[in-house]
Amino acid sequence: MQAGWRIGYLFGVPLFLDYSWLIILLLATYINSQDYQEWGLFLAWGAGFVIAILLFGAVFLHELGHSLVAISKGIKVKSITLFLFGGVAAIEQEFRTPVEALQVAIAGPLVSLVLFFLLGLTSLLLPTSSLVSELTNRVAEINLVLAVFNMIPGLPLDGGQVLKAVVWKITGSRFAGVRWAAKTGQGLGLLGITFGLILVLARNMSGFWIALIGCFAVRNARIYHRINDLQEVLIRIKVVEIMTQDFRVVDANLTLSQFVDKYFSKSSKFSTYFAASEGRYLGSVSVNAIRFIERSYWDTQTLRMIICPLNQMITVLEKASLLEVIKSMESDQQKQITVLSPAGTVAGIVDKGDIVRGIARYLKLNISEAEIKRIKTEGSYPPGMNLGAIAKATY
């Protein structure tokens, strides 16, 4: 959601304006100016423009409410983006508890509600039907709409976050919470589209907006759903279910020439070798290191020279979840990780291709073996499945 202009930092959080903001600024100026035509063209457009800017101020303060509560809970806020229908405070991590999620979700609407009351009171003190009191009144209304609209109980709206937190608290499962809130969001979005289109057919053009917001809600709910599913399987799948045995165990006492002759001259399908001696795994063979050893040593030196010992390798146990594997791959910049049995022997190896294949099988996604091969060689996740970032945000 970070396409847009960066307009500054606030409490260390970068603030973005989405490109759609300009369109909305023009539109909001136009719509608001229509109500003040009796004041003449200049004042009417001026008032429209001021209200449009204050609308963004209101959205901004609303997002700031979420962000500050999140920051106070020690949760990192990646950015705040103001866009077409409001704002998004991108929270980098998932909440640890439902109570925390609830507090952050409710902070935004609460800010809007407080602003509504403050501005409402202020307008009472101002002389009635003056331009300033009109504007104050209008902005107070905008804040009320922001508070109420955002409390509609479907993700991505704040009300959806609240619903998520409540279901999470009741069921004890965050995933169940997101699933419920995303489903309601999708349902409400579809309802909005239908209702909006009916209004448009009845020649009420505000229906267009309702339908557009509905589309936006459906799209976002889908994204929530997808990320939620991915997070859930990352925790549920154990590495033992998806690892492969695409490696070969060789005798650590082979000389380098013997190793090369035996395993390299033929078109070997293995790229990973583990060396063992007397039934014990010693470590992985650093195949690439052979090239750097002078040929005259090849007949006398054994593989022991180029073994990376097991205890120095980055390994996971069979019962580790995919989440642990991905986090370990990301933090140690590994393309492949060795899986150990409880007895400390090599049980398998796993790379990004194996992870994606495992997830696809679990979620019944259609990912071709050619794509898995590409992931294996390039070592990058497919577009739209940024597992590194998703894992980082998952507890």
- For residue 97, how many other CB atoms are within 10 A of its CB? 13
> If binding is defined by CB under 5 A, does position 158 make contact with Zn ion?
yes
Q: Which stretch binds Zn ion (CB under 5 A): 73-81, 104-112, 170-178, 323-331?
A: 104-112
Q: Which stretch binds Zn ion (CB under 5 A): 8-16, 29-37, 158-166, 309-317?
A: 158-166
Kindly tell me which of 224 and 273 has the beta carbon lying closer to Zn ion. 224
> If binding is defined by CB under 5 A, does position 156 make contact with Zn ion?
no
Let me know: does 340 contact 317? Beta carbons within 8 Å: yes
Kindly tell me which of 47 and 80 has the beta carbon lying closer to Zn ion. 80
How far apart are the C-alpha atoms of 215 and 213, rounded to whole Å?
Answer: 5
Q: Which stretch binds Zn ion (CB under 5 A): 24-32, 155-163, 202-210, 368-376?
A: 155-163
Task: Name which position in 108, 153, 185, 196 contacts Zn ion (CB under 5 A).
Answer: 108
- Residue of 38, 63, 134, 324 with catalytic role: 63
Long-range contacts of 36-41 (CB under 8 A, 24+ apart): 36/134, 39/131
CB of 390 to Zn ion, least distance (A): 22
Q: Which stretch binds Zn ion (CB under 5 A): 75-83, 106-114, 185-193, 239-247?
A: 106-114
Buried b (16+ CB within 10 A) or exposed e, 7-37: eeeeeebbbbbbeebeebbeebbeebbeebe
- For residue 332, how many other CB atoms are within 10 A of its CB? 9
CB of 386 to Zn ion, least distance (A): 24
> If binding is defined by CB under 5 A, does position 32 make contact with Zn ion?
no
CB of 158 to Zn ion, least distance (A): 4
Let me know: does 227 contact 174? Beta carbons within 8 Å: no
Task: Name which position in 79, 150, 184, 284 contacts Zn ion (CB under 5 A).
Answer: 150
> If binding is defined by CB under 5 A, does position 67 make contact with Zn ion?
no
Question: Is 141 marked active-site?
Answer: no
To which residue do tokens 């583990």 refer? 274
Number of residues binding to Zn ion, judged by CB under 5 A:
3
How far apart are the C-alpha atoms of 258 and 252, rounded to whole Å?
Answer: 11
Question: Which residues, including other chains, have CB under 8 Å from residue 330's CB and lie 6 or more apart?
Answer: 388, 391, 392
First to last CA, the chain: 22
Kindly tell me which of 48 and 108 has the beta carbon lying closer to Zn ion. 108
Q: Which residues are catalytic?
A: 63
State the residues that interact with Zn ion by CB under 5 A: 108, 150, 158
